[in-house]
């Protein structure tokens, strides 16, 4: 199967000389479309850096990131931002909703940025899925952590990106809510045919993935 997401000899070092940290050290990986991949590793192993590279948030020292066969770092900043909002949905550990916007506005924000019309039925469909239909006008500060993360998931899905990148999306949640959010995420990805790459250090969650990549010192040691 043709990979939707691929890295070739990707390198990112921080610091210099003695203190150099090899966050990503000549990493090659391929992720197929529709796959649910979990990236696991210890704290400081370079998994977050890898995710940021995959999403085009940070530029590598060398190597390539190909999305649908296209090298994203060949793009200028402006094009890269556009590419990101069309192809990639991000979910962060700390939800990162925009506090001045209500639930609905947070969800449609990436669509608005792209200047596209909002597909109301589709967005409402997602909102029903995350069971937030009675909170459309609520501001983020009035929501619980689990609710906020559900809204963040909806935001990532709403622009129909091909790839969802999630950085420990359940890190701030209790275990019951955690399972609920992961199941939701998984079912959404399946329903909309998207690819999910998720960082976690929770073994149980990793077990739910189609594939698990283990990162150590910037290298994929097991896949």
Partner 1 sequence: MRTVTKTALANVRQNKSRNILCGIAIGLTTLLVFVILTLGNGLLQLQEAAVNVYYPTYHVMYRGVNEEGISQLKAYDDIEKIGLREDFGQIPDDDATILMIAMDDKALALSKMELKEGNFPKEEKDIVVSQNILDELGLQAGIGDEITIPYQIYEGNELGYQQEEHFRICGLTQSTESTNKNTVYAVLFSSEYMKQMIPEKEREYRVMMRLKTAEQITTETIEKRCEEIGVAIGCATPDIVSNTQYLAANYKDPSTYPIIAGIIAIVVIAGILTIYSIYYVSMIPKVQEYGKLKAMGATKRQIRQIVFQEGMLVAFLAIPIGLIVSSMLSKVLMVGVFHYMNDGDAFTKVALTLLKEGKVQILFPWVYLLTIVVTLVMVIFSIFRPMQKAAGISPVEAMRYQADSTQNKKKKRKGYQELNLFRMTKANLQRNRKRTMITILTLSATGILFITMSHILSCSNPVTSAKRAIEEDYKISIDYKESDKMKPELEWTNIQKNNPMNETFLEQLRAVEGVESVKTKSFLMGAIEGITTEDGDSGAYIIGLDQSYEKALQDGVIDGKIDWSEMEKGNQIILADGYMTYYFPELKAGDVLHMSLETGDTIVEKDFEIAAIGEYGEGIASAEFILPKDVMDSLSSDNLTYSCEIEVAENQKEKAYAELKSLADNTGYMETDTYEEELETYEKTSKLLSVMAYAFLIVLGGIGVMNLLNTMVNSIYTRKRELGVMQAIGLSRRQLTHMLQLEGLFYTAGVLVLSLGIGSVAGYGLFLYAKQRHMFDVHYYQYPLVQAVLLVVVVTVIQLALSYGITRSLRRQSLIEQVRYSE
Residues of this chain that bind partner 1 (CB under 8 A): 52, 55, 57-58, 77-78, 81-82, 84-86, 89-90, 92, 94, 96, 98-102, 104-105, 108-115, 117-118, 120, 137-142, 155-156, 159
Closer Cβ to partner 1, 19 or 141, answer by number: 141
CB of 1 to partner 1, least distance (A): 27
* Cα gap 55→88, rounded to integer Å: 7
Angle (CA) 139-142-147 rounded to 5° is 90
CB of 62 to partner 1, least distance (A): 17
Q: How far is CA 67 from the centre of its chain?
A: 14
CB hemisphere CA count around 72 (13 angstroms)? 29
Closer Cβ to partner 1, 130 or 212, answer by number: 130
* Cα gap 170→202, rounded to integer Å: 9
CB of 80 to partner 1, least distance (A): 8
The answer to whether residues 110 and 86 touch, using CB atoms and an 8 Å cutoff, is no
The answer to whether residues 61 and 12 touch, using CB atoms and an 8 Å cutoff, is yes
Q: How far is CA 71 from the centre of its chain?
A: 18
Closer Cβ to partner 1, 84 or 150, answer by number: 84
Which ranges of 3-100 would DSSP assign to H, the alpha helix? 47-54, 77-87
* Cα gap 137→93, rounded to integer Å: 23
Residue 145's φ and ψ, nearest 5 degrees, are -55, -45
- The residues with which 31 forms a beta bridge, in sequence order, are 5
CB of 207 to partner 1, least distance (A): 28
Closer Cβ to partner 1, 11 or 57, answer by number: 57
CB of 208 to partner 1, least distance (A): 25
CB of 59 to partner 1, least distance (A): 8
Closer Cβ to partner 1, 16 or 141, answer by number: 141
């Amino acid at each position: 199967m043709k990979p939707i997401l691929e890295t070739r000899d990707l390198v990112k070092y921080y610091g210099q000389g003695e203190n150099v940290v090899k966050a990503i050290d000549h990493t090659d990986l391929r992720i197929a479309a529709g796959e649910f991949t979990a990236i696991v590793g210890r704290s400081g192993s370079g998994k977050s850096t890898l995710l940021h590279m995959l999403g085009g948030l940070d530029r590598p020292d060398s190597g390539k990131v190909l999305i649908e066969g296209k090298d994203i770092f060949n793009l200028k900043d402006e094009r890269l931002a556009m590419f990101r909002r069309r192809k990639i949905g991000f979910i962060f550990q700390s939800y990162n909703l925009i506090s001045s916007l209500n639930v609905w506005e947070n969800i449609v924000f990436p669509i608005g940025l792209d200047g596209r019309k909002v597909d109301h039925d589709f967005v409402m469909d997602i909102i029903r899925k995350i069971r937030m239909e009675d909170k459309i006008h609520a501001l983020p500060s009035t929501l619980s952590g689990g609710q906020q993360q559900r809204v963040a998931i909806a935001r990532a899905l709403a622009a129909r990106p091909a790839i969802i990148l999630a950085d420990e999306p359940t890190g701030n949640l209790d275990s019951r809510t955690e399972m609920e959010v992961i199941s939701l995420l998984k079912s959404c990805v399946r329903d909309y045919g998207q690819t999910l790459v998720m960082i976690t250090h929770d073994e149980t969650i990793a077990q739910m993935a189609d594939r698990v990549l283990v990162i150590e010192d910037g290298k994929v040691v097991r896949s």
